[in-house]
Structure 1
């Protein structure tokens, strides 16, 4: 269980960065602006909100 709390934030950061990269690629192509917005905000949500929450609340599970 302790290893999952260390690996889960790393996975969310990688998925968030991947979605941001997909969003930037979609913006570069310029085909679908709504898809860019979905990718970018989902990636930023994972990076800025979910990852710190996992670190904060996950550390309380180790006690």
Structure 2
């Protein structure tokens, strides 16, 4: 009986460690995703600014 409990306890600890690693990886991915979203928004603003400048130049012809 004690052997089974020890095995289950060991299995539980392995699962907890795996969960902690997964959470850490998710945090890194979320941070990277946040950085990429900011970069995407910046590029979209720059494209919009360029489109606006083109429209102004075309309107002044």
TM-score category (smaller protein) = 0.3 to 0.5
Structure ID, larger Rg: 2
Instruction: State TM-score, norm by structure 2.
Output: 0.47
Where relative contact order (Cα < 8 A, 6+ residues apart) is larger, the structure is: 1
Q: Write 1 or 2 for the structure with the bigger share of helix.
A: 2
What is the TM-score normalised by the length of structure 1? Answer: 0.46
